[in-house]
Amino acid sequence: EKAIIAQLIENEVLSVNISGGEPLLNPRIFSIIKELTHKNIDVGISTNGYIFKQKASQLIDSGIGFVQISIDGMEDFHDSFRGVKGAYAHAVESIEYAKKSGIFVQMNTTITAKNMKYVFGNIALAEKLGVDRIFFRRVVAAGLASKNDVIPNKEDYIKLLKSLIDFKYSNKTN
């Protein structure tokens, strides 16, 4: 950990996003953020949002620059996909809390075969919540994703990407 932090500083990295698992479970997360921000590195975290609100004031005090919170789809789907009842409510509450706290918020959605139909609903949710950016990721065929049926059909995936591109360029507010 110390060696990685030293390399980031030595190489004059401008921005770091800490992900995991869940980075807020790391007992050293606040000291890591402080160490990097004191060297003028913009630091963010990727979180499921479940415990974000409990940790937000410490994150702000540490100098957090941005937060990425994952939402997979509408509430029932998100909770089922994550395997935790209430996961969606925590994620939405965390986005709202981060926005009120003045933190730059990005909503992340990993596009899978199971949530493709929720993508435009996620865009509407992002607009409603006032997120600063929504980011769609592709699912990587590794770990459980390589064993489950989450990899989208290529034709459906391309069709969705074209729809997203059309939406982006037809949407006046971008």
Q: What is the pLDDT of residue 143?
A: 61
Q: What is the mean pLDDT of residues 70-79?
A: 94
CA 173 to CA 32: how far, in whole Å?
A: 36
CA 151 to CA 107: how far, in whole Å?
A: 21
Residues 126 and 107: beta-carbon distance below 8 Å: yes
Q: What is the pLDDT of residue 115?
A: 92
Residue 73 has pLDDT above 70, yes or no: yes
Per residue in 130-171, pLDDT (tens digit) is: 999 999 988 876 665 555 678 888 899 999 999 999 988 887
Residue 111 has pLDDT above 60, yes or no: yes
CA 172 to CA 87: how far, in whole Å?
A: 32
**Neighbouring residues of 124: CB distance < 8 A, sequence distance ≥ 6:** none
Q: What is the mean pLDDT of residues 65-73?
A: 95
Report the chain's mean pLDDT, rounded to a whole number. 91
Could you give the percent of the chain with pLDDT greater than 90?
77
Q: The pTM is what?
A: 0.87
Comparing 9-18, 31-40, 55-64, 143-152, the range with the smallest average pLDDT is: 143-152
Structure tokens at 93: 């509450």
Q: What is the pLDDT of residue 1?
A: 87
